[in-house]
Structure 1
Amino acid sequence: MRLALAGAFAVMAQTAGAVECQSITFDNTQYTVCEVNAAQDDLQLFLYDETGAVLGHFLAIDRALAPEGKQLSFAMNAGMYHEDRAPVGHYLEDGEEVMRVIESAGPGNFGLLPNGVFCLREGRADVFETSDYVRDAPACEDATQSGPMLVIDGALHPRFLADGTSKFIRNGVGTSADGQRVVFAISDAPVNFYDFARLFRDQLKTPNALYFDGNISRLYAPDLNRNDIGFRLGPIVGVVAPSE
């Protein structure tokens, strides 16, 4: 799927065809933030290759794009998955549903309702709370469900505690009300849900934001010479650009 993504965080330089990322500090914690514009570049979700095998790694995606004269200019893990890397929740790629929407509460972070869906459509990207996603039925080309929501219409998730002791490296995404501004963030140190959500609400100013995962969180940002490696991932979100 092809959606646009390449804007810039307020102080980032803009480069055509590439996503600019940089480190920021918020409340004494350092984060890496990548802001993109959903009307410009090619944002896609990735899970399986043409043979049905799990892609799993950023460089595997980059290699798969090379014969088309394209490359991966940014990527991040984008939702929780089972041991076989199949998505836990709703997953849609190129208009084809791989996994249905899960609306019920359940164990773990995914089931800490409300959770949400990151939806990519023509010229925009949005984070929907899951019940809104089901009600509105937006015409997403790609979508991935994860949880919990971090920010819901400007409010923090009601279950988050300021003094929460569960701290991990965490990553997620926030979107603007008009669907044009999309901000991805990963903490560079362990952080609790409350502080991570506040980053999106108070610093990045996104009215809706969704948690992707924690502990296994990884980022691919060539401009920062960063390629976090490890075991295979499930769903991955990335920006595709022409090869240089």
Structure 2
Amino acid sequence: MNSSTKTYSGLVLEYDSGIVPPPYSHVFRLALDWSKGQLDVALDLHYTDRDELSEEEILDEGFTLNDDYSHKGPLNGVWIKPLQQLYDKSRWTNKDIEDGGITVTPIEKGKDNGVKIPANQEEWQLMAQDLIQAIYETVNKEAPLQIHYRLVEGDTSTDCSITVHFSNREVIFEKGGASRTINWEYAIQLMKLVFTPDYHYEMAKEVPGKKRGAYIDCGDGYWHELGKGVVNIDPSFDAVGKIKSGFYDLLLG
């Protein structure tokens, strides 16, 4: 880690979804300040161009008629180090982001040091999403993400779950009444895999399967069979197989 962590005491992240159509298009500003030893955050999120749509069109996409959100308050300081690590390893570019993207502004002694455009856009956008989710959990706007999984082999079925607490960057793995904390990065990569395939909800059931196979509930109460109700979108990337192996390793552990 370079010496820059000694000079800046906060970051401002600003994002514009760009060419994404409404009701998904949005902008946000996320200010992060750890100058006083704790992490204080200020979030302003606004969905754009919704006047082009009818109320029904917005609701049909799973949104509400008022999804804008603002918040100021403390966030668990466990997020400071990952933010500093990402900033210190990032490279910056002059590439235009008119089509959408995120900018980062370091704050030193209460003053900004100029807007920077990270070359590693995806990493910063994921970090911002995680931080917003952490805010939502902290204020009880949303519950922690919980994934349930069942593996049936012969006459034996094994149930487990993963609960991702963004509020404090802690992931709990539970099996057979026993729980343990698992590695954050491992869990986040597994969660990315979980949401990669195509889920056929017309094949989903409200109870997990009992026949040989692997079943998953992504937190909405519907169970899907991996390989049948959950299928790979890209034939060159076996997300379903990677989900199975990821949970299998956890079950063995």
So what's the TM-score if we normalise by structure 2? 0.25
Larger C-alpha radius of gyration, 1 or 2?
A: 2
Q: Which structure has the highest helix share of the two?
A: 2
Q: Which has the higher contact order (CA 8 A, sep 6+)?
A: 1
So what's the TM-score if we normalise by structure 1? 0.26
